[in-house]
Amino acid sequence: MVYTPKHLRKSRLTLLRAALGGVLVLTLILGLYILFTPLPKTSVPLASRLFDVRGRQVASLYTQNRVDVPLSDIAPDLRNAIVAIEDYRFYEHFGVDPVAVVRALVRNVQAGRVVEGGSTITQQLAKNLYLTPERTFERKIHELFLAFKLEARYSKEQILRLYLNTIYFGHGAYGAEVAAQTYFGKHARDLTLAEAALLAGVARSPGRYSPYVDPSAALERRAIVLKRMTELGYITPAQARAAEKEPLRLVGLKAKAARAPYFVDYVVRQLEPRYGADMLHKGGLNIYTTLDLDMQAAAEEAFRQGLPVSFRDARGVTQPQGALVAIDPKSGEIRAMIGGRDFSETQLNRAVAPRQPGSAFKPFVYLAALQNGYTAASTLSCEPIALPVPGQPPWTPTDYGDKDYHFRPLTLREALTISDNVVSARLNYELGPAQGIAVAHDLGIQSRLTPHLSSVLGTNEVTPLEMAAAFCAFANGGRRVEPLAVLRVEDRFGRVLEEHQPSIRQAADARAVYIVTNILENVTRPGGTGSAVGRILDRPVAGKTGTSQGNAWFVGFTPDLAAAVYVGNDEPARDIYGTGGGLAAPIFAGFMKKALAGTPPHDFTRPAGIIEAEICTESGLLATRWCPPETVRRELFIQGTQPWQPCNIHTPWSSGQLPWPFGGLEPGPAPFRSPGGEGTPGQPAPGREETTQPSAPPP
């Protein structure tokens, strides 16, 4: 067959049509692939943020410090500056800009090296979201397909938003919001034109254009960005000139001290089992907590001022250490937490570490006594006693101080006020140690407690968090509250993942609780072991000191706030050389004074079923006219438990007078003559700080 020019033209036309058909088919296949195959899962980490109870940010958890914000929360000048300097044809192309590719190719050939890239904002986003930084031909092809996919699925505004939230601005700052905070200490929505232009210039090469690295290079780059924005009509020449004259005002790169680090660590340890470390540090969670940053600051100041420095241990950790936990008694919400002097020095959170509370444990036993028929006027003798211990020699408890015994009867009120060890041990023996342990568990102590005779002196171990939570019941009428640190957790899109409400239930007789609280108010007054608190705080406050070898405590409360303060050496065998009243109580008072500065003082709520009667403190019975004035006080009783017998110690015979009818002196209640005033005791014996150290308790 002879091929003529006509045949050749026809053959070429056929081949051209076939080629065009193939291109169309290939284009259709690629289009279908782009439209209907899903994008890969993004791997961009977002910082999770913790907020306090008032919505103020406490901390960020991240591997990359990145906070996602909507486009409306990014200043328009920054959006325009990024588009102007990075991809001015962004709103015109479909993910790939052929003009930019050709221009970059020409300039690179002319320079003999790569001086300009042709990637669009969409391509850079595809790389940031889905690809590794490696430079290969295969990765570039993959980037192109991903860019087309992004453009097919998202609007230009959505793409720009994603880009501005993912690009790196240097110094650990990812995204516009963190960059604005890092360089200027403000939100991205509040950036000025000059600040926006500077950030847009930094994004090209943070190591070169960061004002923290080279201020001159940063200002030169800012001028280039402003000029480009002027050329494209985003700003006027006058605006550009004004922005160029604006001096650098940087917030500084000083390392910021972590806020409430022990509380943040406590929250992370709570949430990590549910969400995993990756989600907490990369998932962009918003965690709303119960912390109050103002109260936290008050706690840190009181702790810093009140904690003495003694020595450094073998690990180089400053001793003594300590803890403070403050809880709202109405809800159980944790308002402040300190777990040590310095989180950077030691991460051990002593707020949740078990320690012996010493006599701070006594109120649980006294509450058990009042719920089992004893009264605040019941008397027990403070004198030598040998308490039987199965399989061991008898235990002989003693008081702390110059004298081992008072050698007289003490009412339960006086014994708890001055923290008498002997009377407390007698009471625990008569009740049975299990009674006080049961009350402690009822009010919120979760640690394992062994019921033995010396348990009343705090020889079991508990945590400051447990003690603060349990003492909330004394402040709120006997209701147990569960410590609450997290109110709500949301994902990066604002969807609620978990939400918590306060857990409160009645756990003790409100009348007995009120009487114990009234006694614990005496502890903070002259004659009580925590009198330092009353000297500092001018409001109703109650609490209990505790001291054992290596540990000093004060656990106290007002109607609005409960707090436990612990001071001690990490090695308990080393003496603290101080008491709960001398070391912990002043820290508690200093914290409360500032934390409650804006809260009006008010009294503890008195429940129904409480009556008052005049009693003789020596006999615990109704006072008569023959009782010396210093022994007479008005006492509180649960209705029906008040004494009905007159004092059997002070009688006409003891006073040398004949009884009625012979001498005309009729016995009967005396007029109220309490030297301490209504509702307060007469001056008890001088306050003597308690300790479990002098008398070795049985196991």
Domain ranges of the chain: 71-245, 351-480+515-595
Question: How many CA atoms are closer than 13 Å to the CA of 196, on its beta-carbon side?
Answer: 27
Distance set, CA 329 to CA 62, 169, 347, 555 (Å): 33, 45, 27, 13
| Least confident span in 394-403, 509-518, 520-529, 667-676 | 667-676
pLDDT band, residue 38 (cuts 50/70/90): low
CA distance readout (Å), 40 to 66, 135, 146, 149, 196: 21, 20, 9, 10, 32
Query: For all residues of the chain together, what is the average pLDDT?
Result: 86
531 annotated active-site: no
Q: With a cut of 70, say whether residue 8 has pLDDT above it.
A: no
The answer to whether 689 and 577 are in contact (CB under 8 A) is no
* Helix boundaries (H) for 381-495: 412-417, 421-431, 433-443, 464-475
Domain 71-245 and domain 351-480+515-595, same fold? Reply is: no
| Segment 652-667 mean pLDDT | 52
The verdict on whether 359 is a catalytic residue reads yes
φ/ψ region of 182 (left if φ > 0, alpha if ψ in -120 to 50, else beta) reads alpha
The contacts of residue 596 (CB under 8 Å, 6+ apart) are: 539, 558, 560, 561
CA-wise closest residue to 266 among 355, 347, 354, 356: 347
Higher-pLDDT residue of 158 and 108 is: 158
Identify whether 601 is preceded by a cis peptide bond (ω within 30 of 0): no
Closest CA to 479 of 557, 421, 419: 557
Instruction: Report pTM.
Output: 0.78
Is the pLDDT score of 126 beyond 90? Answer: no
Confidence (pLDDT) at 108: 58
What is the fold, at CATH topology level, of the domain defined by 71-245?
Penicillin binding protein transpeptidase fold (1.10.3810)
Cα gap 279→284, rounded to integer Å: 8
Q: Considering 210, 331, 359, 548, which one is annotated as catalytic?
A: 359
DSSP state, residue 678: T
Q: Report how many helices (DSSP H) and strands (DSSP E) the chain contains, helices first.
A: 21, 22
Q: Is the pLDDT of residue 159 over 80?
A: yes
**Looking at 86, 333, 614, 690, which residue is catalytic?**
86
d(CA 305, CA 590): 9
Residue with tokens 């042709």: 118
Q: How confident is the model at residue 673 (pLDDT cuts 50, 70, 90)?
A: very low
Q: At what angle do helices 215-231 and 76-86 cross, to 10 degrees?
A: 90
How many Cβ atoms are within 10 Å of 406's Cβ, its own excluded? 19
The proportion of the chain whose per-residue pLDDT surpasses 90, expressed as a percent, equals 64
Lowest mean pLDDT among 177-191, 348-362, 679-693: 679-693
3-state secondary structure of 153: helix
The one-letter code for the residue type at 307 is L
Confidence of residue 97 (pLDDT cuts 50, 70, 90): confident
* Burial class of residue 459 in the structure, from the number of CB atoms within 10 Å of its CB (0-12 exposed, 13-18 middle, 19+ buried): buried
CATH topology of domain 351-480+515-595: Beta-lactamase (3.40.710)
- For residue 115, pLDDT over 60 is answered with no
Helix axes 215-231, 237-245, angle to 10 degrees: 170
Beta-ladder partners of 565: 324, 554
Provide the strand spans (E) within 438-550: 479-481, 486-490, 496-499, 504-506, 542-548
For residues 532 and 523, give the distance between their C-alpha atoms in angstroms, rounded to a whole number.
Answer: 10
Rounded Cα distance, 613 and 547, in Å? 33
Kindly write down the DSSP assignment for every residue of 66-112, as one continuous string.
E----GGGS-HHHHHHHHHHH-TTTTTSSS--HHHHHHHHHHHHHHT
Can you say how many angstroms the Cα of residue 366 is from the centroid of all Cα atoms in its chain? Answer: 31
**3-state secondary structure (DSSP) of residue 672:** coil
Residue located via tokens 């296949």: 29
Give the position of tokens 């890239």: 117
Residue 430 in this model has a pLDDT that exceeds 90:
yes
Q: Mean of the pLDDT values across residues 84-89? A: 91
3-state helix vs strand vs coil in the chain, percent to 5: 40, 15, 45
Measured between its terminal Cα atoms, the distance across the chain in Å is 116
Residue 243 three-state SS: helix
Q: Give residue 571's pLDDT band: very low, low, confident or very high (50, 70, 90).
A: confident
